[in-house]
Amino acid sequence: MTLTNAYRVVGVSPGKNTVSVTYERITMSSGNQLFSLDYDSENDNGTDPMYEDLRNLIDKNFKMVVSPKGEVLASEPVNRTRSEGGGAYRFDDSSIRKIMLHVLQVYPGVAVEEGSIWERSYATSVGFANVRVRNRYQLVSIKKGIAHVELQGRITSDNASQTQDSDMQLKGMQSGEMEIDIKSGLVVSGKISQQLSGNMNITGQTTPVDIESDIYIMGAVIRNQ
């Protein structure tokens, strides 16, 4: 999955910042022997109802209120209401927060310098599975106002928040790197690779499952004139 975003810090107050975000491009590719999914908003002809919810995100603006540690205190959904369903992907306030967690739950909450190491944990999702992530970050370098941060993390299934009547026992690892604009604190590029394995039971039958996922993050920080 690739997310290309434009960011603008539109409000600063004690204990929180308001960030305006626009999704400029979304690409997804996944599948197995029975089913495949490929979507690129730049090549979308607008006819397949499966991708309606993803289509509705492009070029739409929403705002997030973020704490100094990257916690989303509030967010404004891209689509406030839906009169009819039909899209395969439902993006509401919760969905937006989960997507953005990968670029927000990176801040240490204290001053750091090159070589500093810190840890953060958060709940999110990998495909159909709700998971908990615990990452270990290191500030590798700072050059020309850009901080290079590398991460290693552990992923475990969060059974308390799975879909009703489903049971998933998953665990795995993730690793990656990010480039962070020092002035705004926003991630301008990054890649996270995830590998999970385990068992799932959705239909009453336990099935082994392996999941591999790559998340690409590309952002442009828009400076206020």
Q: What's the pLDDT tens digit per position in 35-88?
A: 566 788 888 888 888 778 778 788 888 888 998 888 888 887 665 444 444 444
The dihedral sign for the CA sequence 124, 129, 131, 137: negative
Pick from 86, 79, 84: nearest CA to 58: 79
Q: What's the pLDDT tens digit per position in 17-43?
A: 999 888 888 887 765 444 566 788 888
Does the pLDDT value for residue 171 go beyond 90?
yes
pTM above 0.85, yes or no: no
Which residues are within 8 A (CB) of 63 and not within 5 positions of it... i.e. 6 or more apart? 10, 18, 19, 20, 21, 75, 76
Q: What is the pLDDT of residue 47?
A: 84
Q: What is the pLDDT of residue 219?
A: 85
Q: What is the pLDDT of residue 199?
A: 87
2-221, what's its fold? Answer: Lipovitellin-phosvitin complex; beta-sheet shell regions (2.30.230)
Q: What is the pLDDT of residue 85?
A: 47
Alpha-carbon dihedral angle through residues 72, 161, 210, 154, given to the nearest 10 degrees? 50
Q: What is the pLDDT of residue 83?
A: 43
Query: By percentage, how much of the chain surpasses pLDDT 70?
Result: 80
